Amino acid sequence: MARRNFKVLYVSGEGSPFVRVSSLADYMASFPQALEEEGFEARIMMPKYGIINDRKFRLHDVLRLSDIEVPLKDKTDMLHIKVTALPSSKIQTYFLYNEKYFKRTGLFTDTTLGGDHKGSAERLIFFSVGVMETLVRLGWQPDIIHCHDWHAGLVALLAKTRYAKHDFFKKVKIVQTIHNVYRQGIFQSKAFQKHLDAEVFDALEKDGDTVNLLATGIKHADLVTTTSDRYARQIAADPELSFGMDKALQACGDRFHGILNGMDTRQWNPSADKLIKKRYSVEQPELKLEDKKVLLEEVGLPFSEETPVVGVIASFDAYQGAELVGESLAKLLELDIQLIVFGSGDKEFDQALKEVAEENPEKMAFRPEFTDAFYHQMIAGLDILLMTSRIEACGMMQMFAQNYGTVPIAYAGGGIVDTIEEVCGDKGTGFIFTDYTPDALTSKLQEALALFADKERWSALMLECMGRDLSWSASAGQYAELYRNLLG
């Protein structure tokens, strides 16, 4: 292992296995570990939401990190820290907690996406200032603060304004990574004006009476990245694909880079996965059938070796495929498949899925509640994974699927296509559809089903999927080079 000569703090609004909303959580579970192997000392900070179970994840209080003052413009609140190690690593993960802000079960929610967003702006301001104050109390001085998505955009700004002259932060560099460009953290400005000093408030990126936290992070970061070179080029050039962020990215010039995601092949490894019922490998791929049986039993569907099990896993919104899944259901249920939908959207969407599943008890199951164990079991037990996102920076789920011999079918939106080799003849690891329509999705699925009927060809396809190197090794090296260049 290379000598650990630089320190990096990762700031995120989510992280697996503690709380998961999007692929960012999967990224945070593995990326810091990959950079540690490149010689960087990594630590993580995230909010201690009310839904995070202290006992389950072995969170414990740190006496010297209790009663940290978080000074806002109009008041001072107290912060408490809980800590644990990121599973399968020694990376310290710090959870910032204040009962008033985080006892409730809701997460930070961008007001433009609906949902539980009451008080989110104030909670986020408290968290962001809390990150900076916790670092000072901790005495652990990072060389880089790596901010992820809009949840950490204010941290980037604080480092360049209020804390810029603080001896502790004078040499700190800021990296901002975009995982979900359509989630931008757009809020009414009044809470920010109330709780932030004028120096910070005036430097926020605003549009009328709203602030944009992702745009703020992009503007003030020393380096901006996203999770695929193809996706980086797309969103810098196209206002529609970037949801209006193209000019901000163009202004970055050579500060903006795209680096493909990798995956943790220790955590996501069918031969060593403790969360699945039956472990299997390239040498014994036939054992995957046992996980298919367990999955179907768990969701209450009958088992048939000849019937392909197709799954959709998403936190459904307009961009994650809610509309496409809803419009495709009737066509999908006409096919000779069993369908499992894992994830949830708004209440009406969830209710509609539940009703369709109840009307088709032999063919469809719906599981809205997320658990890490079921997530792993589903990836292992499916034959085919449908990726229905309208735009995906890169994602990681299709990588997990391939590693488990589960064949992905994905829409060609963003960088996801860089991780799937289109099936052509005897080669390939998945299927890509280029029109975002129910007809295109079901047509591509029918291609896959035709191969599934050919047991010899399907077995070869599974083995090709499982044989791909989707680890972080190459991508982590590229990030390490960016980090070192940034630090001179």
Q: Which residues are annotated as a binding site for ADP-alpha-D-glucose?
A: 20
Between the CA of residue 147 and those of 141, 155, 241, what are the distances in Å?
16, 7, 22
Q: What's the CA gap between 340 and 298, in Å, rounded?
A: 11
Residue 264, sorted as left (phi over 0), alpha (psi -120 to 50) or beta, turns out to be beta
Backbone angles phi, psi at 200, to 5 degrees: -80, -45
DSSP bridge partners of 199:
none
Output Rg (C-alpha) for the chain, integer angstroms. Answer: 22
Binding-site residue ranges: 20
DSSP bridge partners of 44:
10, 93
Q: What's the CA gap between 470 and 266, in Å, rounded?
A: 12
Strands 256-258 and 223-226: parallel
